Structure 1
Amino acid sequence: MSRLKGRVTLATVAGTAGVSIATVSKVLNGRSDVSPVTRARVQEILEKHGYVGRRPETVERDTVELFYQGIVNAYSVEVIQGVVDAGQAAGVDVVLNAHPPHPQTTSSGRAARWIREVIAAGRRAAIGITSELADADLAALSRARLPLVVVDPANIPQPDVTSVGSTNFAGGMAATQHLLSLGHRRIAYVGGPPTSGCNQARMSGFRSAMEAVGAPVPRDYIWLSDFLYDDGLAGGAALLDLADRPSAIFAGSDEAALGVLEAARARGLRVPEDLSVVGFDDTQIARLASPPLTTVKQPLRDMGAVALRTALQLAAGEKVASHHVELATTLIIRGSAAPNRIRSVS
């Protein structure tokens, strides 16, 4: 089946399928009075040509689709709570979808099917958390005229995608400067995916602070994987098993920092006496850690709230001041970092 040229409408889909426009409409709306063979034929054409439709003009109550790829963790819970709280204040319902199409595992047709479902449900806008969006997803959302806001996008933010984040570069620099002020020079970084925009900014802040004092960063002092506990555990183990191990580790998330703490404990190292650790996020687990985690606070709930309000602005046809908003980070000093006591390693 060749792809239709130009704008795909209900009429063109109906003509290609050899059915009426009303039948195509029934398929889109999930009506049961369509034969399985006809439904399959129409669905195939809709997916082949990426038809997503438009949001119904009248819905009972405004709703926003909130989607998240991956395991819900301490970070995402805070952002989700911020979106939900802001939605309640605005009189808008928030629907969480934890399993939307992923660009690496789904076709553009299946992505379009998910967006059609979102449109049919009458969502006013969509908000993604740390989500990676393929060009096909963005094109389908654009055709559907569904506003999109992404919080901490997993890939580098595109100029035409509205996003919300924090001052990751400044936060990475502040964390590293704190460790430097404690006399540490052998400082390693355990971070997230290399393609992640927030990870790149945090790592750049780390490198900038190190370069400012002439402290070298050996290649094996950088460990990039993801922001989860197991990644911090693996990264911490690799770094602490080096012959010239670091005296401090800056982790790109609180969860990864907890993995580093466990790697240190498993090797009989005390924190902060033998190893200083700084995290990023200031989620609840940072306060519950032993010792309590020194970390860079992201205003995660505020980020979620800003995303919700921005999405509603776009849905109302209003212009936003910037396609990318960054909220300020703050260093929170607790008990996991202390003056450097390691002078040499035998």
Structure 2
Amino acid sequence: MIERRPSAARVRWRGELSVAQIAQLAGVSQPTVSKVLNGRAGVGDDTRRRVESLLREHGYRRPPGPPGTTGVEVLLSGMLSYIALEVVRGIEDVAATRDLTVSLTDIRRRTAAGQSWLEPLLLRRPVGVVAGFAGFTAEHLDLLDANDIPVVTLDPIGDVHPVPSVGSNNWSGALAATRHLLGLGHRRIGVITGPVKDLSARARLDGFRAGLDAADVPFDETLRRSGVFTFEDGRDLGLELLRRPDPPTAVVCGDDLQALGVYEAARLCGLRIPDELSVVGFDDIEQCAWAGPPLTTVHQPFAEMGAAAARLLLALAAGERPAQSRVELGAALVVRGSTAPPAVR
């Protein structure tokens, strides 16, 4: 039989069909096919024989891997360039000590182009994967696990998969932001959150509410808006809050893009920051210092998060059992020019 070689234009295992197509023919999931390919347990005898028969029928064999895996894969999805670069910088600092390379894949771009990201990744057989996007499914994790590729996730993360993760203390960061505004005298404070399915967004909302509770300030549900971490949502949701008959005197945002969107909403409403409206963001991206006025925000140590994720990942790849599966770094409030005492009305 003539062996087919994978080409750059067609990234697949050897054989006519992809993992997904073999799985469909066998009536099983892709992780099940991968377990059979790797000789892993957890597959019934009848199912294993059916899959193996299809693999033989289509001349489907795993290609030989490289002499030694030399890469760490970083998966991001349309993240801000500054955040991505800082995360990757931290990962590279650790990977370089083991002579490992670091590869970055933008999942959103590949998905929008109709391209697969998982099968090429499995073909490269990395040491491990650092995932910084919330769309990671149980099937993705099962396939990587079946191929002995460990995964560590970065915030934002969902809570449906028990995967080792690294993040900052979102709760305490939001608490510090809320206390800062309360200390300036604000009592009518609006909040714009990120996606409620993300643990990081929920933790920030909880920290905001804890700050209000500690000061005996009731949480006003009418001043809460939920969206995604974009400038456009910050602008549109900010307009909803600022056009109320009784608008807030300050707004806490789920991230800096939302906060910069609130800047635009304030401009459209003819409000001056911070004289008539105080705004606080979250992340401390580089654009915060360039805004007019510079944005008060919560700093996340992205490079340190990347380094911590890489150390945890390499420990997992070495077969070690980490002392903790969740690493949480500190988040610190950075006070700039976008916050001031509320105007006397």
Task: State the secondary structure of the residue aligned to 2:281.
Answer: strand
Q: Name which of structure 1's ranges 126-135 and 287-296 shifts more when overlaid on structure 2.
A: 126-135
Letter in 1 for 2:140: D
The structure-2 alpha-carbon separation of the partners of 1:216 and 1:342, relative to structure 1 and needing over 3 Å to count, comes to farther
Task: State the secondary structure of the residue aligned to 1:318.
Answer: coil
Q: Paired residue for 1:64, among 62, 65, 72?
A: 72
Q: Paired residue for 1:188, among 167, 187, 190?
A: 190
The structure-2 alpha-carbon separation of the partners of 1:42 and 1:340, relative to structure 1 and needing over 3 Å to count, comes to closer
* CA apart distance, 1:286: 1.2
1:238 aligns to what? 240
| 1:44 equivalent in alignment to 2:44 | no
Return the alpha-carbon distance in structure 1 between the equivalents of residues 242 and 164 of structure 2: 40
Return the alpha-carbon distance in structure 1 between the equivalents of residues 137 and 147 of structure 2: 16
Q: Paired residue for 1:212, among 190, 211, 214?
A: 214
2:127 aligns to what? 124
Q: Paired residue for 2:106, among 88, 98, 106?
A: 98
* CA apart distance, 1:132: 2.3
Task: State the secondary structure of the residue aligned to 2:282.
Answer: strand
Letter in 2 for 1:39: E
2:318 aligns to what? 316
| 1:79 equivalent in alignment to 2:87 | yes
2:301 aligns to what? 299
Return the alpha-carbon distance in structure 1 between the equivalents of residues 165 and 283 of structure 2: 18
Return the alpha-carbon distance in structure 2 between the equivalents of residues 194 and 41 of structure 1: 35
Letter in 1 for 2:129: A
1:135 aligns to what? 138
Letter in 2 for 1:333: V
Q: Report the RMSD for the aligned CA atoms in angstroms.
A: 2.8
1:203 aligns to what? 205
1:265-298 C-alpha deviation (Å, 9 max, x unpaired): 1211111000001111111111111111111111
Task: State the secondary structure of the residue aligned to 2:333.
Answer: strand
2:334 aligns to what? 332
Return the alpha-carbon distance in structure 1 between the equivalents of residues 146 and 194 of structure 2: 32
2:54 aligns to what? none
1:142-189 C-alpha deviation (Å, 9 max, x unpaired): 111110001004322633x01101111011100000000000000111
Return the alpha-carbon distance in structure 2 between the equivalents of residues 143 and 93 of structure 1: 23
* CA apart distance, 1:101: 10
Return the alpha-carbon distance in structure 2 between the equivalents of residues 301 and 283 of structure 1: 12
Letter in 2 for 1:189: V
The structure-2 alpha-carbon separation of the partners of 1:64 and 1:41, relative to structure 1 and needing over 3 Å to count, comes to closer
* CA apart distance, 1:319: 1.6
The structure-2 alpha-carbon separation of the partners of 1:172 and 1:31, relative to structure 1 and needing over 3 Å to count, comes to closer
Return the alpha-carbon distance in structure 1 between the equivalents of residues 195 and 8 of structure 2: 43
Letter in 1 for 2:201: N
* CA apart distance, 1:198: 0.3
Return the alpha-carbon distance in structure 2 between the equivalents of residues 31 and 268 of structure 1: 55
TM-score w.r.t. length of structure 2: 0.81
1:68/1:129 contact within 8 Å kept: yes
Return the alpha-carbon distance in structure 2 between the equivalents of residues 47 and 234 of structure 1: 44
1:157/1:197 contact within 8 Å kept: no
1:88 aligns to what? 96
* CA apart distance, 1:318: 1.4
1:39-98 C-alpha deviation (Å, 9 max, x unpaired): 148762156541345596643561011111235444333323322343334421111111
The structure-2 alpha-carbon separation of the partners of 1:228 and 1:78, relative to structure 1 and needing over 3 Å to count, comes to farther
1:191-218 C-alpha deviation (Å, 9 max, x unpaired): 1101110000000000111112221222
What runs of 5+ residues in structure 1 fail to find an aligned partner? 1-19, 33-37
* CA apart distance, 1:342: 3.9
The structure-2 alpha-carbon separation of the partners of 1:43 and 1:281, relative to structure 1 and needing over 3 Å to count, comes to closer
1:101/1:114 contact within 8 Å kept: no
* CA apart distance, 1:227: 1.2
Task: State the secondary structure of the residue aligned to 2:153.
Answer: strand
Return the alpha-carbon distance in structure 1 between the equivalents of residues 18 and 252 of structure 2: 54
Return the alpha-carbon distance in structure 2 between the equivalents of residues 96 and 342 of structure 1: 50
The structure-2 alpha-carbon separation of the partners of 1:331 and 1:153, relative to structure 1 and needing over 3 Å to count, comes to closer
* CA apart distance, 1:121: 1.1
The structure-2 alpha-carbon separation of the partners of 1:238 and 1:74, relative to structure 1 and needing over 3 Å to count, comes to farther
Letter in 1 for 2:152: V
| 1:162 equivalent in alignment to 2:161 | no
